Chain A
Amino acid sequence: MSSSENNLKEVVVLGAGVVGLSTAIRIQETGRYRVTVVAEVLPTDAKTIKYTSQWAGAHHVSFASLEDPRHALDKETFEELWKLKDTVEGCFMTIEQTEYFSKQRPSPSPLAHMPEFRSLSPNELGALQGIQPVDGEVFNTITFDTPVYLTYLSTRFLSKGGQIIRGSVQHISEIAESGVFSFLSHEEKKHIISKPDGVKPPAAIVVCAGLGARFLGGVEDKDVYPIRGQTVLVNAPWIKHGKTLSDLDANEWTYMIPRRSGTVVLGGTLQPNDWNPTPRRETSLNILERVLKLAPELVPGKAQPTVEDIWPLVVEEGCGFRPGRTGGLRLEADKIQVPHSDKTIPVVYNYGHAGSGYIASFGSARVALGLLEKALKE
């Protein structure tokens, strides 16, 4: 181990979802920290409702208005990923995306910075059978093959010297007391104990626990709540564009997101405080009905396909809990006590992204890094 590595500060990141991994990477790539991610679920695990990131579509389409500080985070993330897509195989697909709205869009549009952006003409708005959107926009963006992208993030992190440890942290004070020590194997522990000052608190903790921030002892943020989203995945590799129809007043959210692999993610629902972790058949059928009106091209050769027509293409029904938060994304720093000492260490919170985890991932990670560095200087 080189002496420069000994000067690295230890940072523990809790959570290995898109936000946790992006944040860990951002911190690690400064070269000043040794970063360890501790998480219950890892990207390579079988899908589970406890790990939202695997269920996401995903496409990069920001929901933020121009005045919203999230807008800058989303834009920054998009620009980074737009460059990344040319160097990373397998994760991204560049598509033309059409957004239909039930309300008039502001001018300038919050999405005006997207490549090849333009508003839809009244003719184009009238072209949908049985749907009357009030406004529409089209632009280029990327979609994520989310399981692949998560694996990419974790291997990027590991290849630069990061460590990922599986562990269930009941209370944040366990990490504040001795970092990841209690999660190590017996052999690793032996060697650390034998050194003077071997077992010690980390320099800082970063909480990227998503919905888990509600149940992580010492954080227990009651403002965090799930916004359930159900999806239907179909095998339709002929789809190379994306569409969304949003009518938030009616709480309807209908979308089609193609992945590079040929799987297309169809959705969706916005169900706050609905904890049901298994897909409901009635909801899947409803999603398919709505999407087929928006995108009949899903079933080639049929002008008005029905659910029966698309059912043979269905690969999976799924659902995930978007990590919502009353009051919005929590991006701030605080201090916590190191047990049995009068020392405190900084904690940075980066959670509560709701449906914009991928969308704001790198942007919020950069802000978290800034908060971390500021706190460590004090």
Chain B
Amino acid sequence: MASQTKQQIIVLGAGVIGLTTALKIQSELGKRLDVVLIGEILPTDPKNIKYTSQWAVANLRGIAELEVDTFKVLWDLSAPGSDAEECLLRIHEEEYFADDSIPIKPFENMPDVRAFPFALLSLNHLYRTPAVNVDAPFLSQFKRLEQSQLPTGVRSGISFTTLTIDTPLYLNYLLNQFIVKGGRVLRGTAQHIHQVIEGGVYGFPGGPALFGGASSKSEGPAAVINCTGIGARFLGGVEDKKLYPLRGQTIIVRAPWVRSGKTFYKDRTGAFTYIIPRRSGEVIVGGTRAPNDWYAQPRPETTEDILQRGFAFCPDLASPEIRSQREPTIDDVRSLIVAEGCGLRPSREGGIRLEVEWTEGVGGRGRVPVVHNYGHGGTGFQASWASADIALRLLEESLARA
């Protein structure tokens, strides 16, 4: 039973942001705070469209501020012998651009320019200046590709070393770490953030019942950290209309011979084709980016389109045995399909929301801070640790002021 004297912090949302944030807070402040993670869906659950993190690919290709710190943490975790070894794979990655215009004004016209791998803004910087002054491990192997190294139809390209994350495994690793360090996990859905502020762990549907049935004045949390991703659009009292889904569909194939990644950016809309291997031997083929598309199931015509593009871009998806005998066909890759999936990247106009909102008078309580940490679009994994760091700092400042 948690000590009654410790203040309680509730983290809402058990996706990569919620898990990482809860783990960060528990690790740094666990001695004086009781951290409870409440999620509607947990990483142990079957896949569900409301839980974006399970659908993520994911790989890291950023060097913007928010991502360098995350990259460092994950790079260490990917070292042989680490607890998270099975979740991560170090790879060589190549990125190709169909024309020169893409990196120059990469995604100005895209609604989620801050959420998207804004690496491309940084890559633009790299293009312009020969000297690169960023201290990130993968950049030390950063190279611009020679014309001769480029496939046909590609104007320019770069390569670097990065990581891929087996997202379902990694999410469970995070959850495990959180529990091992003393964090508590509860399943539940808050209809309205006031339920959590007023009633704490007893305040929301699906939460534990108080002994005796009805609640009396139970103590609410000292702070709430809102990491609900796309759910922040529908969470009462937040209802952030700037959030919108950027739907992505993928195919998972079993192709353990593929050990490096590649991505092709077709045009300024962000349309891309990618091949991303996971440590397990699964390879993710994608992708799509459809704003405001809420459709929760993979569309067969999109699957076919991804398969065509993926195969054209990377015929090596077919097995080495087949390729040693003859030219591979698309059906050689089709037979390797393990799953199709789609996820709703929680994009946000104006970018990630990482700030404190003070509430007052909820359920008769005084000032209670809510730290918002959501709206990461397609960069949840690669900004996870850095966002958690900032959220921790905001929490500490708020607790000092309350």
A residues sitting closer than 8 Å to B (CB atoms) are: 48-50, 168, 170-171, 173-174, 177-178, 181-182, 193, 211, 214-215, 217-218, 220, 222, 275-282, 284, 316-317, 339
Contact = CB atoms under 8 A, between A and B. Distances in A.
B234 A276 contact: no
Contacts of A211: 191
Contacts of B192: 275
A276 B363 contact: yes
Contacts of A281: 214-216
Q: Chain B: interface secondary structure?
A: loop
Contacts of B236: 214-215, 275
Contacts of A173: 293-295
B164 to A, nearest CB: 28
B199 A171 contact: no
A317 B294 contact: no
A1 to B, nearest CB: 24
Contacts of B79: none
A86 B189 CA distance: 41
A317 B296 contact: no
A215 to B, nearest CB: 4
Contacts of A182: 295-297
Nearest to B235: A215
Interface string B178-220: 0000000000010110110011001111100110011110000
Contacts of B80: none
A275 B191 CA distance: 8
Contacts of B195: 275-277
B49 interface: yes
A279 B213 CA distance: 8
A217 B294 contact: yes
A170 B199 contact: no
Interface of B: 49-50, 189, 191-192, 194-195, 198-199, 202-206, 209-210, 213-216, 230, 233-234, 236, 239, 241, 293-297, 300, 344, 363
Nearest to A225: B236
Contact of A317 (B214, B233, B363): B214
A220 B203 CA distance: 23
Given A214-B236, A215-B234, A280-B214, A275 B194 contact: yes
**Interface-centre pick from A48, A168, A173, A277 (highest chain B CB count, 10 A):** A277
**Interface-centre pick from B209, B215, B363 (highest chain A CB count, 10 A):** B215
Contacts of B230: 170
A279 to B, nearest CB: 4
B70 to A, nearest CB: 28
A170 B194 contact: no
B258 to A, nearest CB: 28
Given A168-B50, A173-B295, A215-B236, A278 B194 contact: no
Contact of A276 (B50, B189, B199, B213): B199
Contacts of B50: 168, 170
Contacts of A178: 295
Nearest to A281: B214
14 contacts: A49-B191, A173-B295, A181-B297, A211-B191, A215-B191, A217-B233, A217-B294, A275-B191, A275-B195, A275-B198, A278-B203, A279-B213, A339-B293, A339-B295
**Interface-centre pick from A48, A50, A171, A222 (highest chain B CB count, 10 A):** A171
B256 to A, nearest CB: 27
B191 A276 contact: no
A174 B296 contact: yes
B214 A279 contact: yes
A269 B354 CA distance: 38
A339 B49 CA distance: 18
B49 A282 contact: no
Contacts of A171: 294
Given A170-B49, A170-B296, A173-B294, A278 B210 contact: yes
B211 to A, nearest CB: 12
Contacts of A215: 191, 234, 236, 239
A317 B216 contact: no
Contacts of B214: 278-281, 284, 317
A193 B299 CA distance: 11
Contacts of B206: 48
Nearest to A171: B294
**Interface-centre pick from A177, A178, A193 (highest chain B CB count, 10 A):** A177
